Every structure is written in structure tokens, then in C-alpha cells.
Amino acid sequence: MYSYALLECGCHYLIQEKENEALQLIKVAVESDLCMYVIKYGETAEYEWRKKTDSIHEILELLSDQKVAEWESVYNDNQDAYYEEDEE
């Protein structure tokens, strides 16, 4: 078991929060003494505070800046397509 305390602020990670759950891409946006403000990316971005002691089943990967840029281009294209459909 891992915890949020192992994650670094400003970095993107692929994690599995609980065993047998889907993978999540997260970014640690802010770190306080006891907590982390985390952005979870799905269909929309979700923002939440997590205790540093909260468990993470597995930290699969710390994404490089290049991989984050590749992901952002795909993610942003999908977000644009979603909003364009709503406008019609």
C-alpha cells in the first residue's frame, strides 16, 4: 500500500486508488502540511482534498512532461468535441 504523501506537487500520476478499480490520472496541485489538493481527470476534472495518509493501492507511473503534453492534446480535443456537440 502507498499513500498520497509519496506524491510530489505539480506532477501527474497514473494510480489505482483501490484494488480492482479503474486507473486514474491525477495531478497534485497543492500540498499542505497534512493534505494534498488533487485533480482527478475523467470526463471532467474533479478537484478534491486528500489526506496525506489516505491509501493508494498502486502508483503505476509518474508521467514525463512529454507524456503529459501528449495526453493534454488528446484530452483537450475530447473536451472540445464534447462542448461542440452541446452547442448544436
pLDDT digits (tens, 9 = 90+) for 29-39: 999 999 999 99
- The Cα 13–Cα 62 span in angstroms is 5
Look over the chain and give the mean of its residue pLDDT values, rounded to a whole number: 90
- The Cα 69–Cα 21 span in angstroms is 25
| Model confidence pLDDT, tens digit, residues 49-73 | 999 999 999 999 999 999 999 998 8
Contact predicate 25/14, CB 8 Å = yes
pTM: 0.83
